[in-house]
Amino acid sequence: MAETGSDQAGDMKHDSVSSPGISDHEREMATNAFEAFKAGSYDVSLKHLDNLQELNKEDYKITMNKAITEFYKSGQTTTSTLKQTLMTLKNQMHTAVDDIDGLDDVENSILNYNQAVIYYHMRQYSEAISIGEKLYQFLEPFEKFAQAVCFLLVDLYLLTFQPEKALHLLAVLEKLTVKDGNSKNGKGESTNSANKESSSLKAEFTAMIEAAKSKMHQYKVRAYIQMKSLKACKREIKSVMNTSGNSAPSLFMKSNFEYLRGNYRKAVKLLNSSNIAEHPGPLKTGECMRCMFWNNLGCIHFAMGKHNLGLFYFKKALQENDHVCAQLGDGSNGQAKKFTGIPMCALLANKRYELLYNCGIQLLHIGRPLAAFECLMEAVQVYHSNPRLWLRLAECCITANKGSSEQETKGLPSKKGIVQAVVGQGYHRKIVLASQSTQNTIYSEGQSAAIPVASMEFAAICLRNALLLLPEHQQHDSKPDKSCSQSGSTESGSETSDACSGKTQEGDKFIPAAPSSPLRKQEVENLRCSILACSAYVALALGDNLMALNHAEKLLHQTKLSGSLKFLGHLYAAEALISLDRISDAIAHLNPENVTDVSLGVSSSEQEQGSDKGDLEPVESSGKQTPLCYPSSVSSARSTMLFNLGSAYCLRSEYEKARKCLHQAASMVNTKEIPPEAILLGVYLELQNGNTQLALQIIKRNQLLPSVKPTSSPDLRKKPLPFQTSQPVQPIQTPSSFTQVQRK
């Protein structure tokens, strides 16, 4: 879009020259001003415009052209001043966006188009689209202007992940280009074909048509990549390679295509073969190819499961981005808060927050939640309306507070030691067993929960924000969703997406989630389930049992719930009910028959999100690389339910039922998979029956032993140790928790 500004300025000057109703003297001065502008003599052009304005002070077009000439004279660095001038002119002309339908001349259209271009470079895409769509309604009389508006809208649609609308506009552009080309060629043949000037104009026009076709092929590749339409994308890439050759942008597109196909090594090879040194810098194009190169390598290695190497490349991209920002004169660590002093086309070069998002997701996968929290906290300052990002922040807090192996020994022990201490010697020797976990009880002492700290209190706030950003449950549509933008997995999408007509489906509404791909209907529901599961876990950790029960019940009432999250929902609801002394209700949730499936259930549309022309986009985990969530099988899940059911029976003093549940669960899993809480429960049951020796053997061997008939049954009225379900089951790796979002 860097060239759009110059094309736009030329159009405006030309229209000023050819405007009817002016004298020959005024027309001559306008022509001289326009020619001086095209030659780069901005001072001369301004002098002619000043003289012209003295003759016609009421013509706002002259003021607009003066503002644009001064803008180019400053090296396109006074974007805010130009924006303010155009806004003032627009208010004077009473041409608000809502009143654009009443415009009937090209001059007012260009005024609004100029504003749309400025909004585009300031990343205010919604405002730019609103103006562009209004302008699109009356484009027919102005062929060159129509092409500029359409290209601007196509770029905006791709930046906002609306590839169907982009393809529809490209189809319209193709018809206009072919029609325009045929009319010009026919006109040239019917007139004086021997005229050298006519032939040179014809050659220039032909070159312009070819450049437009090449540009359209590139836009189509970007759109098909976002839609996962690999078959159509392959055809367009051939056209791009034929017209553009082995240029850096074309190789980046081809690398992105191979990346979507899973050919990671070939994608890396294509990236390495691109000569990014020959590509113009961000001052001319607004794109830093070196930054995109390192980012794309990070995305590819991330998809390959090489997370540390991927993080290395993301950091290289961040360093390159900071270097570019320093070259542009931005001294605020890449945070361009002002639009003065930086060329307008270079305002889009800063990708700091997208890269921080990538680094945060990568660090979360590596197991460095605190470092990930710092990156994502900086990114959320810009992308605060992204529910996915708030969930990631909550996951950072949960992972940071889950505790390392050293920390776990301070609370409920690991399998290697359920004995906390040994006191005394000989006959007076006593074994002190570990008590309940003390995690999440020392955070935020004297601090507000709203302070950004990786604590469970702040995780609760993040999850609340994520829920509020999701739309309410929509009514079930009678027609199935036929959108082709999220059609199946990377492979299957190549067949179903090729039938896309380019028109946007009415029912295919999406929720923006910048900087990652927007959320489709099914993705919203999957994300809601993950947020509710994490919310229940966090509420249990904070001791808010009523809220935990509320979240767990909402989770279980979701229409499309994966088996893994259904298991967690029953488990969290049971623990909350036990804490609320509602044992009978908890036992109903702990029925092993409630567990029939423990699959993650990540929809194929979430596994890998689309991408475009090799620009930067956040990356999240591929569904292919999702780690196994505990438990890994139905039998393991049912054993966990039985362990907890035994704890519930123990609270009601039904020790025989508890013992049966305990040993039935132990027989369903490997000895190494038995959690330490279950071993402590077995010790308690044996002590209740007076089997002190057997209880000691369980402690020494750190494993459950076959039941032995009790010799006596003294009535020991001791409070049992309830099985803490929040310990062995963590909702970190849940459906839509780590979805793949890549862009080249």
Cα gap 296→292, rounded to integer Å: 6
Q: Look up residue 582 and give its two tokens.
A: 């509602």
Q: Which residue has the higher pLDDT, 708 or 153?
A: 153
Q: Which residue has the higher pLDDT, 371 or 697?
A: 371
Cα gap 706→145, rounded to integer Å: 85
Provide mean pLDDT across the span 385-407. Answer: 82
**pLDDT 10s digits, 64-78:** 899 999 898 888 888
Helix%, strand%, coil% for the chain, nearest 5: 65, 0, 35
SS3 224: helix
Dihedral over Cα of 525, 450, 386, 310: its sign = negative
Q: Look up residue 122 and give its two tokens.
A: 């300031």
Question: Which element (helix H / strand E) includes 419?
Answer: strand 419-423
The CB-side HSE value for 305 (13 A sphere, CA atoms) comes to: 6
Residues near 376 by beta carbon (within 8 Å), at least 6 away in sequence: 356, 357, 360, 361, 389, 392, 393, 396
Neighbours of 91 (CB within 10 A): 10
Q: Which residue has the higher pLDDT, 269 or 478?
A: 269
Neighbours of 635 (CB within 10 A): 17
Give the pLDDT confidence score for residue 608 in this predicted structure: 41
Q: Which residue has the higher pLDDT, 246 or 378?
A: 378
Q: Which residue has the higher pLDDT, 406 or 679?
A: 679
Band of residue 372 on the pLDDT scale cut at 50, 70, 90 = very high
Q: Is 716 exposed, middle or buried (0-12, 13-18, 19+ CB in 10 A)?
A: exposed
Band of residue 560 on the pLDDT scale cut at 50, 70, 90 = confident
Band of residue 570 on the pLDDT scale cut at 50, 70, 90 = very high
**pLDDT 10s digits, 685-735:** 988 888 888 888 888 887 776 544 444 434 433 333 333 333 333 333 333
The CB-side HSE value for 208 (13 A sphere, CA atoms) comes to: 16
Give the pLDDT confidence score for residue 138 in this predicted structure: 74
- Residue 593: φ, ψ to 5°: -70, -15
Helix 2-17 vs helix 24-38: crossing angle, to nearest 10: 160
Instruction: Give whole-number Cα distances, 170 to 403, 469, 500, in Å.
Output: 53, 33, 13
**pLDDT 10s digits, 89-148:** 888 776 444 455 554 455 578 888 899 999 999 989 999 999 999 888 877 656 678 888
Q: Look up residue 498 and give its two tokens.
A: 């090729």
Closest among 411, 253, 542, 256 to 245, alpha carbons compared:
253
Neighbours of 693 (CB within 10 A): 11
- Residue 519: φ, ψ to 5°: -90, 120
Provide mean pLDDT across the span 166-186. Answer: 74
Closest among 463, 444, 443, 449 to 394, alpha carbons compared:
463
Going by the DSSP 8-state scheme, the letter that residue 615 receives in this structure is: -
Give the pLDDT confidence score for residue 320 in this predicted structure: 92
Kindly report which listed range (123-137, 319-333, 386-400) carries the lowest average pLDDT score: 319-333
Which residue is associated with the tokens 């030309």?
Answer: 14
243 neighbors 209 (Cβ within 8 angstroms): no
Band of residue 361 on the pLDDT scale cut at 50, 70, 90 = very high
**pLDDT 10s digits, 579-609:** 999 999 999 999 999 988 888 875 444 344 4
Give the pLDDT confidence score for residue 556 in this predicted structure: 94
Q: What is the mean pLDDT of the chain?
A: 76
Neighbours of 559 (CB within 10 A): 8
Residues near 656 by beta carbon (within 8 Å), at least 6 away in sequence: none
